[in-house]
Structure 1
Amino acid sequence: MTSRMKISLVIPCYNEEKNVRIMLETCRQRFENLDTDIEYLFINDGSKDRTFEELKKLIADYASEQIKVINFSRNFGKEAAMYAGLQQASGDYTAIIDADLQQDPKYIVEMFTFLENNPDYDTVACYQSKRRESALIIFFKKIFYWVMNAISETEFVENASDFRMMRKEVVAAILTLKEYHRFSKGLFTWVGFNTYYRPYEVKERQEGATSWSFGKLVSYAIQGFVGFSTAPLKIASLLGSFISIASFLYLIYLVFDRIFFGNDVPGFTTLASLILFSSGIQMVLIGILGEYIGHTFLQVKQRPIYVVKDLLESNGSSTRAHNDKP
């Protein structure tokens, strides 16, 4: 007798007290005709509202469902939340989906059906068919993907999201990557495996406001640059070499001009401009180097990627103070 197929659903939550119940009820409706077991993994990423209290109520109210709640001791970020969910997942397939219902669970059914019917593929990744952000955000994201694909050996598919389903072999491969600063869009691609990209339509957020801001997006992009390419360091070296050569040639020109034509060396304005320009370049290059050193500094500390305060399951069990080291 063969065991039933299981899907693990990783659901990161940050200030989603009004959405988690709607999310679970929507999933139950979408999966009603799905002949497989569903494991719900809610990760409360240090929410400041009553998300954890609502998740505890879900376990009590839906005793027949396989629900696990991972409650972080503080906010560690979505990357850490996804990693924790993947660690706890026990399904033959694992999917990642946001709790705000902008990603309709109906696509989970479609991804599962595709993988069942296409054994040559290991992952189905969704990308937004039509982005809902401002034109400025869309422009910067296009620039980001263009630059990343130009400087990195890892291919980045434009608009590909964390909303995806993976076979357990893919999940196992991702969990071997213990880096502290995680950039999952790159990690998902770096491990390889055959991925099918399919479009999906983003819905309006059910309740609450998004926690993402332009500043966080810029910080996330920097994580990608530093985590998947050393090109900025090479560019820094090339730029420094270029400025040094240009400065030396300019010095020869000034000496030649003074000796043979008797022209005075340009005055304060030119000198000040050159100093400010070269100083600015130096600060940029030091900043680039600092990003790499900072990432290395935090990685060698071997701090855990996240700290779990509570681990609750639908069978009534409870565990506290569990860590995971990078």
Structure 2
Amino acid sequence: MNDQIDISIVVPVYNEGPIVHNSYDIIMKELIQHAEKFEIIFVDDGSVDDTFAHLEILALKDNRIKLIKLSSNCGSHMAIRAGLSYAVGRCACFIACDMQEPPYLIYKMKAELSENYNIVWAVRNSRKDSIITIIFAKLFYWMARKVVTHNIPPTGASMFMISDKVLTALNQYEERNLTLEGLFATMGFKSAYIYYERKKRIMGNSKWTLSKKLKLFIDFFIAYSNIPIRFVSLMGIFFSIIGFFWSSYIIFRAIISRDLALGWPALISILLVGFGVTNISLGVIAEYLWRTLDEARKRPKYIIEKLINIE
């Protein structure tokens, strides 16, 4: 790592033109209070507004501002990975542009980073989001802890800091469909936690659409667990057993009473259940096959259109 830079801060942005100057001011207000050298890496995740033009203005007046412009929207996790791949600090963290996570957490996390702890999570005590978002998040993290690993904070973490050792390990991963939370939680490095109250969003809009949340959900469990494909196998065994006993029951009734008349409703119900289970199973298998194909094609995870203040 570069001896001149103490900390690298990655900020992914997507159509955040109106707020990037304000975000920069808020971050800088915290950073200049500490006598450490830093770099702020803004990653434009394929914005279609004037976000990058605003960022260029910041980079021109402050060479500690590094810019990465991606050619298309790849998602915040991929944008963060792009930023971390150019980070040269002794440690690195990420913070969202909307400033829901207060910048004072940066040095609070850094204070916890040590020889014993290579990853520090900033864990939410609570969240001031919509009821639907809160329910979805609680369900997601409950399942993640049950299925993947208990190293994931139960309420999730929207901010983290990693040592240069973790950063080096992270940059060795070539997989495309990964989530950073799952990756850090399963790397094996010891983690520390700090807790904070997440503020209500005061600027910008959430870019986490329903489709992006669903993709994150699917990626998380398929990338780090064999439970989905194992579930398909168990479901097949379960319904095979039910089918065996149901068939035995029908044969027994037909032999004993000879008055069996199940009718079309029963037959249609059985067929619908069978088709439903089959399609669910095919869908799960298809997700694994698609990800295998996606990795096998060896296409770049992202394409960088422009770099500023980065050698």
What TM bracket, shorter-length normalisation? over 0.9
The match for 2:12 is: 12
Residue 135 (structure 1) shift: 2.6
> What is the CA deviation profile of residues 40-90 of structure 1, one whole-angstrom value per residue up to 9, with x for unaligned ones?
10000001111100011111222xx41210001111111110111110000
- Give the counterpart of 1:223 among 216, 219, 226: 219
- Give the counterpart of 1:105 among 81, 100, 103: 103
- Counting only pairs closer than 5 Å after superposition, residues 178-257 of structure 1 correspond to structure 2 as 178-257=174-253
- Tell whether the 8 Å contact from 2:175 to 2:295 is kept in structure 1 after alignment: yes
Question: Compared with structure 1, are the counterparts of its residues 292 and 3 closer, same or farther at alpha carbon in structure 2 (3 Å cutoff)?
Answer: closer
Question: Compared with structure 1, are the counterparts of its residues 247 and 265 closer, same or farther at alpha carbon in structure 2 (3 Å cutoff)?
Answer: farther
1:134 partnered with 2:142 = no
Question: Equivalents in 1 of 2:17, 2:170: separation in Å?
Answer: 29
The match for 1:320 is: none
2:303 partner SS: strand
The match for 1:76 is: 74
- Tell whether the 8 Å contact from 1:154 to 1:228 is kept in structure 2 after alignment: no
The match for 1:289 is: 285
1:85 partner SS: helix
Residue 137 (structure 1) shift: 2.5
Q: How many residues align?
A: 310
Question: Equivalents in 2 of 1:190, 1:177: separation in Å?
Answer: 13
Structure 2: gaps spanning 5 or more residues: none
- Tell whether the 8 Å contact from 2:5 to 2:39 is kept in structure 1 after alignment: no
- Tell whether the 8 Å contact from 1:154 to 1:186 is kept in structure 2 after alignment: no
Residue 153 (structure 1) shift: 4.7
1:312 partnered with 2:311 = no
Question: Compared with structure 1, are the counterparts of its residues 139 and 44 closer, same or farther at alpha carbon in structure 2 (3 Å cutoff)?
Answer: same
Residue 114 (structure 1) shift: 2.8
Q: Higher mean Cα deviation, 149-158 or 42-51?
A: 149-158
The match for 1:47 is: 47
Question: Equivalents in 2 of 1:260, 1:108: separation in Å?
Answer: 76
Residue 24 (structure 1) shift: 1.7
1:70 partner SS: strand
Give me the identity figure in percent: 29
Question: Equivalents in 2 of 1:217, 1:159: separation in Å?
Answer: 16
1:267 partnered with 2:263 = yes
Residue 206 (structure 1) shift: 4.1
- Tell whether the 8 Å contact from 1:254 to 1:265 is kept in structure 2 after alignment: no
Structure 1: gaps spanning 5 or more residues: 318-326
Residue 179 (structure 1) shift: 0.6
1:197 partner SS: strand
The match for 1:321 is: none
Q: Higher mean Cα deviation, 264-273 or 148-157?
A: 148-157
2:262 partner SS: coil
